[in-house]
DNA sequence: ACCTGAACACCGTTCAAGT
DNA sequence: ACCTGAACACCGTTCAAGT
């Protein structure tokens, strides 16, 4: 991952000869904290408010001017990750043949798994229910609901064309989601070594289970 | 869950007239700490070494005489939970028709999901890769490997009788595990409300996806 | 308006000292 | 042999005080 280094943004107007190394007003501390948290997570570290503050060059109390709690920060981080996740999935769907719903479902599943494999820590932040207990996380829910809606539409089209063996679309959709969610989670939770699956076998296996599932539901 | 209350075991030899309310030697502090942690988790609380020590009536440093770290305590907790999980699954398998591998696989899947639904916090402790990073957790791995082996045997039998559509048994097994793991995790991570699945719809849905999957792999 | 820095109540963990 | 209790370095969070 090419880590976009902490951008020292030019101060808002005329830059003073020597830009102060620790400006009193940060400019966009909120954004800097979210970025720091994303980098911490991607590096495999625990995300702490204090460490994010350190990375942003501010005092331990400063983040609480922008987020009422650690959970609120993590919710913002999750929203950003979910946004990236969704946009990658939509790109994959756009590249798939638009007249074949099962092929589109396959693309959706593969894009889902590929993103999770490339961004395991961010996937975990999106997935785990530790933050935003209710669905107070409007943005996260919205982006997720969008993916759910796309999948529902694709399943509906497939059913309309007589391509599905099973009539209960909701059940089919939950099973599909459980499959990819479970695979991604097993990866993140470190189960594959115990299953004798080496790192370079994960991606082919991901493809394999998507195909196996689609074969199973297709008529 | 009938909480087995912290057993005040009789002091080792002749009990003094009034048993001291806070005995200096605990008897089995290790066990008491694991039990406390299991109860804390089941109650939805964070498991902390200090809180477990408090529950066991000892000082904050005492647990470290029995566990080198918090992770070591959690590993012991996970081992106990995994043991219970495995024994419930084996009971369910024993009750299923022994001459029908697909029916046994169905029983296995349902027992897996039922235990996870009844013991979400314990399932999470077993599943999450935060503790016992490698497979240093001998007991957990052994009990889990046992379940994996049973499933592999059942799939092998089903294939030998020509009951499977797909020849790649490993792939089929990973897909099956990802399905139940993902369903359990979605429950724990709190995703079902966002999917419009109420609490009393979870169990039928669990059955539904197991049946759908087995239909998909059966010939 | 935004940030500092000290403070508080929590953790995990260590270690001398007690019994 | 096992536990206490103080200590240390961390957290999240609050709040007066600074600019």
Write a three-state SS string for chain A.
Answer: CCCCCCCCCCCCCCCCCCCCCCCCCCCCHHHHHHHHHHHHHHCCCCCCHHHHHHHHCCCCCHHHHCCCCHHHHHHHHHHHHHHHHHHHHHHHHHCCCCCCHHHHHHHHHHHHHHHHHHCHHHHHHHHCCCCCCCCCCHHHHHHHHHHHHHHHHHHHHHHHCCCECCCCHHHHHHHHHHHHHHHHHHHHCCCCHHHCCCHHHHHHHHHHHHHHHHHHHEC
- Nucleotide D4: closest residue by CA–C1': B59
The residue to which tokens 């999470």 are assigned:
B124
The answer to whether the CB atoms of B197 and A177 lie below 8 A apart is no
In the 8-state DSSP scheme, what is residue B175?
H
pTM: 0.89
Q: Which tokens is A44 given?
A: 């495999």
Q: What percent of chain A has pLDDT over 70?
A: 85
Q: Which tokens is B138 given?
A: 């001998």
**Contacts of residue A205 in chain B, CB cutoff 8 Å?**
171, 174
Residues 116-155 of B with CB under 8 A from A: 127-129, 133, 135, 141, 144-145, 148
Q: What is the pLDDT of residue A136?
A: 56
**Is residue A123 over pLDDT 50?**
yes
Q: How many CB atoms lie within 10 A of CB A196?
A: 9
Judged by DSSP in three states, B94 sits in helix
**Is residue A167 over pLDDT 60?**
yes
Low-confidence residues in chain B, pLDDT < 50: 1-22
- Nucleotide C15: closest residue by CA–C1': B61
Given a contact cutoff of 8 angstroms between Cβ atoms, the answer to whether B71 and B91 are in contact is no
**CA–CA distance, B32 with B36 (Å, rounded to integer):** 6
**CA–CA distance, B206 with A171 (Å, rounded to integer):** 9
**Is residue A13 over pLDDT 80?**
no
């Amino acid at each position: 991952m090419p880590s976009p280094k902490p951008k020292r943004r030019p101060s808002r107007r005329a830059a003073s000869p020597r830009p102060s190394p620790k400006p009193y007003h940060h400019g966009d501390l909120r954004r800097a904290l979210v970025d720091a948290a994303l980098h911490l997570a991607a590096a495999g570290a625990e995300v702490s408010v204090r460490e994010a503050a350190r990375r942003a060059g501010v005092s331990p109390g400063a983040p609480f001017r922008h987020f009422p709690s650690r959970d609120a920060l993590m919710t913002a981080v999750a929203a950003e990750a979910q946004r990236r996740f969704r946009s990658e999935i939509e790109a994959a769907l756009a590249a798939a043949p638009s007249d074949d719903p099962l092929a589109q479902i396959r693309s959706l599943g593969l894009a889902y798994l590929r993103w999770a494999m490339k961004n395991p820590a961010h996937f975990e932040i999106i997935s785990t229910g530790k933050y935003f207990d209710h669905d107070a996380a409007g943005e996260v829910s919205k982006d997720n609901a969008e993916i759910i809606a796309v999948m529902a539409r694709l399943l509906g089209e497939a059913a309309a064309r007589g391509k599905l063996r099973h009539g209960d679309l909701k059940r089919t959709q939950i099973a599909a989601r459980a499959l990819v969610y479970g695979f991604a989670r097993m990866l993140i939770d470190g189960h594959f070594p115990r299953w004798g699956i080496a790192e370079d076998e994960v991606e082919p296996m991901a493809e394999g289970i998507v195909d196996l599932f689609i074969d199973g539901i297709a008529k």
